[in-house]
Structure 1
Amino acid sequence: TPSSDTDVLPKRLDSPSQRSIDGKATPLSLSRPASTLTIAYAISITKDSPYLDGAIVLGHAIKLAHEKSQFKYALVAFVHPEVFDAREQLAFLGWRVLVREVPVVVSSIRGEYLRTHIKANGCCGERELLKLWTYTLIEYHRIVHLDMDSLVLEPMDELFDDE
């Protein structure tokens, strides 16, 4: 059984850096060639369902698009703790499975409308907020969160360049 990464917060919140020739700190990602940088693509799984086909197709499409890319890629799946069946399947398909709670306590949401309506909103209610964990993945050059009904057909290198 594949293990799941269950740590809740990253160990470091600052990005890695190194000193450039002029002595100024330079983000590590700016000092490395693009071929050593990794773009992560993330999805959120809010419940066990028979709809993992989207993750299969999306992962394969990303793999094909990156055959023509200057960047490496990683697949990341944020999975709610009540999701069990999908974890092993996602890991088998090459997704890094990160088990995460909803990062916001609904009762602490200040806006009354959102606080009272979020649980019944859309397909996933407050679990839709799992996407916010995307911003904690600082180990990647760039990260893109996609819904499982998305498709990547071409490399997006021009969006990921530093310049």
Structure 2
Amino acid sequence: MTSSERVTESKKVWTTLITNTAYLSGLLTLDYSLKKHNSKYPLVALYTDAFPPEGHAALEARGIPKQRIEYLLPKNGGKDYSNDPRFYDCWSKLAPFSLIEYERVVQLDSDMLVLQNMDELMELELDAPEVAGKGQRVFAAGHACVCNPLKKKHYPADWVPENCAFTSQHNTPEVAQTTGPPPNTSPLGFMNGGLQVVNPSSGVYNAILDHLSSDAAINMDFADQSLLSDLFKNRWVPLPYIYNALKTLKWEGVHPQIWRDDKVKNIHYILAPKPWDEMDKEGNFISKDATHAWWVTHNQERLRGEKERGIKVDGF
């Protein structure tokens, strides 16, 4: 288990994993967006030993609390992710289940941007920690989109639109704004790990570690997402897409039928390039993806505010 000391007074926190500086601009703008939209709860950066000194300095300069976690990997080495190396880091996104010093943790990916207050996730009903993963509401998350719109050849062959939970909502787009399809809507029953609502629990975390140590880890195509979808099959609470609005859902040919710009509370900039990779030297928007402009606008606001507060320009 990880440290049992809170790094903030709040017993309910947002967390995000950071292992290097590639996502640091994303983390800083995520933190800014939570504060801009008046969240009552702090963002805690969960860092591993590989996180460099300049990253720590950037967090400290902005007053963002940080907490060390162990870098998680399957004991048998797990699947070869050479086609998608980002998944090696994703195992450590299971750490929030171990943070029993907090009552509620909502894990966010650092390539997310909060567009509306979503503090209600801190009150969402889940199984109590002592249920130890035996109940029907172990955690909450959004569905994965299994359409594979970029047609990545190393993705599973059954990742096709007809197996996607979001496809089931095309004829009921208004319902999609408030209700997630049941976990078993898709034959794959797959969640996306970008946002996870968790009641930390020693029992749940030990079950996760046991599964991580098993031979099953060799066949987990998507690291933490595969593990949670398999270990707690159909026993998680499905959130509507608005809390983990995968940017690809808006694309033509994916799920534009359900997407509503004004309903999205949290956009997830999955895949590459990231918004911070598509700016000119002055930090202006140059992407073809209109949703990237939302991130750039927030980032520019953040940088202006930091300048006014005298925070040293550090490139993040």
- TM exceeds 0.5? yes
Does the CA contact (< 8 Å) of 2:16 and 2:46 recur in 1? yes
Does the CA contact (< 8 Å) of 2:17 and 2:93 recur in 1? yes
- Cα distance in 2 for partners of 1:162, 1:52 equals 29
Q: Report the AA paired with residue 107 of structure 1.
A: K
Is 1:152 paired with 2:120?
Answer: no
Larger % of strand: which?
1
Unaligned runs of 5+ in 2: 126-316
- Cα distance in 1 for partners of 2:27, 2:15 equals 10
Q: Report the AA paired with residue 47 of structure 1.
A: N
Which residue in the other structure is 1:81 paired with? 49
Is 1:62 paired with 2:34?
Answer: yes
Which residue in the other structure is 1:52 paired with? 24
Which residue in the other structure is 2:195 paired with? none
Q: Deviations over 1:59-101 (max 9, x none)?
A: 01111222xx5xx312111222122121221232232222333
Is 1:142 paired with 2:104?
Answer: yes
Cα pair distance change 1:144/1:125, threshold 3 Å: same
Q: Report the AA paired with residue 148 of structure 1.
A: S
Q: Deviations over 1:98-120 (max 9, x none)?
A: 2333233x3336xxxxx1314x2
User: Percent identity between the aligned chains?
Assistant: 30
TM-score by length of 2: 0.34
Does the CA contact (< 8 Å) of 1:65 and 1:155 recur in 2? yes
If you compute each CA radius of gyration, which structure gives the higher value, 1 or 2?
2
Unaligned runs of 5+ in 1: 1-7, 13-35, 110-114
Does the CA contact (< 8 Å) of 1:101 and 1:130 recur in 2? yes
Cα pair distance change 1:138/1:160, threshold 3 Å: same
Question: How many residues align structurally?
Answer: 121
Does the CA contact (< 8 Å) of 1:40 and 1:74 recur in 2? yes
- Cα distance in 2 for partners of 1:108, 1:65 equals 43
TM-score by length of 1: 0.60
Which residue in the other structure is 1:9 paired with? 2
Cα pair distance change 1:79/1:121, threshold 3 Å: farther
CA shift at 1:40, angstroms?
A: 1.3
